[in-house]
Chains A and B, each alone.
Chain A
Amino acid sequence: MSVLLHFFTVIAVLAGAFCFLAGTLGLIRFPDALTRLHALTKADNLGLGLIVLGLLPQADGLWGVLKLLAVWLLAQFSGATVTQLIAAAAGRGDEAA
Chain B
Amino acid sequence: MNGVDAALALVVSLTAFWTIRVRAAFIAVAAYTGCGLLIALVWVRLRAVDVALTEAAIGAGVTGAVLIAAAARLRPAEEAANAERPARRLRAVAAALSVTVALALAVLVLLPADPAPSLGREAVAPLDDLGLGNPVTAVLMVYRGMDTLLEKLVLLLAVIGVWSLAPDRFWGGAPAAPAIAGRNGPLLLAARLLPPIGIVFAIYTVWTGASAPGGAFQGGAVLAAMWMLVLAAGLARIPAVTNRRLRLLLAAGPATFMAIALAGFLIAGAFLAYPPGLAKALIVLAEIPMVLTIALVLALLAAGPPAGEPER
Contacts and interface: CB of A to CB of B under 8 A. Distances in A.
Asked if A and B form a direct contact in the complex, defined as CB atoms under 8 angstroms apart, the reply is yes
Interface of A: 74, 77-78, 80-81, 84-85, 88, 92, 95-96
A84 B186 contact: yes
A88 B190 contact: no
A81 B72 contact: no
A95 B79 CA distance: 15
B181 A77 contact: no
Contact of B187 (A74, A84, A92): A84
B194 A96 contact: no
Given A96-B26, A96-B72, A96-B75, A77 B184 contact: no
B87 interface: no
Given A92-B181, A96-B72, A81 B197 contact: no
Contact of A81 (B75, B181, B182, B190): B190
Nearest to B180: A85
A88 B193 contact: no
Nearest to B68: A96
A74 B189 CA distance: 13
B184 A88 contact: yes
Given A81-B190, A84-B187, A74 B180 contact: no
Nearest to A92: B181
B189 A81 contact: yes
B178 to A, nearest CB: 11
Interface in B164-206: 180-182, 184-187, 189-190, 193-194, 197
A88 B72 CA distance: 16
B52 to A, nearest CB: 15
Given A84-B184, A88-B182, A88-B184, 15 more contacts: A74-B194, A77-B193, A77-B194, A78-B190, A80-B186, A81-B186, A81-B189, A81-B190, A84-B186, A85-B184, A92-B181, A95-B75, A96-B26, A96-B72, A96-B75
Nearest to B26: A96
Contacts of A88: 182, 184
A77 B75 CA distance: 30
A80 B189 CA distance: 11
Contacts of B185: 84
B194 A78 contact: yes
Given A77-B193, A77-B194, A85 B72 contact: no
22 contacts: A74-B194, A74-B197, A77-B193, A77-B194, A78-B190, A78-B194, A80-B186, A81-B186, A81-B187, A81-B189, A84-B184, A84-B185, A84-B186, A84-B187, A85-B184, A85-B186, A85-B187, A88-B184, A95-B75, A96-B26, A96-B72, A96-B75
B190 A77 contact: yes
A58 to B, nearest CB: 15
Closest 9 CB pairs of A and B: A84-B186, A81-B190, A81-B186, A96-B26, A88-B184, A85-B187, A81-B187, A85-B184, A96-B72
Contacts of A81: 186-187, 189-190
A77 B193 CA distance: 10
